[in-house]
């Protein structure tokens, strides 16, 4: 059975389950000498035969057939709980999922900060005048990257950026 077939069968079973008798039972008709599956009317308790069970039918098959509505409703109930839990978990994990850091954008903003440009001048030889473009070029050289977008695509480049940023933060605190 493939997924599409299983989904269709499940939808069909749910529709039929709403229409089927709520409870079945097995009975033995002594006069006729045969086993039957019977439907039980929930309001009156009246038992009505709905299927004949042949003698070759195993005890397990007979039990499965006689309890089919109860088993189906139990499985449907459990599936609905599972589906609800999956939806709840997806929503909660979606809310908690952190958006990946955009190191390229962060680097671009840092290169526009006067303090970062001063740091690059003092620690990494950035030539004057201290422009954003010169700062960006110097950072690419320090990090050994050709484009800032590599900071989002290459874990090693991102780690080098984090180290440079940490060194800058240390320099800013202690001069």
- Say what the pLDDT of residue 152 is: 93
Instruction: Give the tokens for residue 3.
Output: 């997924």
- Say what the pLDDT of residue 29 is: 72
Q: What is the DSSP letter of 146?
A: S
Kindly report the average pLDDT of the chain as a whole number: 87
- Tell me the CB-side half-sphere exposure of residue 143, using CA atoms within 13 A: 30
- Say what the pLDDT of residue 95 is: 62
Rg (CA), the chain: 36
As a residue count, the chain comes to: 175
Closest listed residue to residue 151, CA positions, set 105, 116, 98, 99: 105
Low pLDDT (below 50) residues in the chain:
none
- Say what the pLDDT of residue 175 is: 62
Which residue matches tokens 């079945």? 24
Closest listed residue to residue 135, CA positions, set 160, 154, 108: 108
* pTM of the shown model: 0.47
């Amino acid at each position: 059975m493939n997924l599409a077939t299983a989904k269709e069968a499940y939808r069909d079973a749910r529709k039929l389950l709403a229409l089927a008798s709520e409870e079945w039972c097995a009975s033995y008709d002594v006069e006729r000498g045969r086993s039957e599956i019977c439907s039980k009317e929930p309001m009156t308790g009246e038992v009505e035969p709905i299927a004949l069970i042949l003698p070759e039918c195993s005890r397990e098959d007979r039990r499965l057939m006689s309890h089919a509505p109860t088993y189906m409703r139990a499985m449907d109930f459990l599936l609905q709980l599972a589906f609800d839990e999956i939806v709840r978990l997806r929503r909660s994990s979606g809310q908690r999922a952190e958006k990946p850091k955009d190191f390229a954008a962060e680097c671009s903003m840092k290169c526009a900060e006067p303090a970062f440009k001063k740091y690059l001048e003092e620690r990494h030889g950035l030539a004057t005048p201290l422009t954003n473009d010169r700062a960006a070029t110097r950072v690419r050289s320090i990090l050994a990257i050709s484009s800032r977008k590599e900071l989002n695509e290459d874990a090693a480049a991102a780690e080098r950026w984090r180290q440079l940023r940490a060194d800058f933060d240390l320099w800013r605190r202690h001069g």
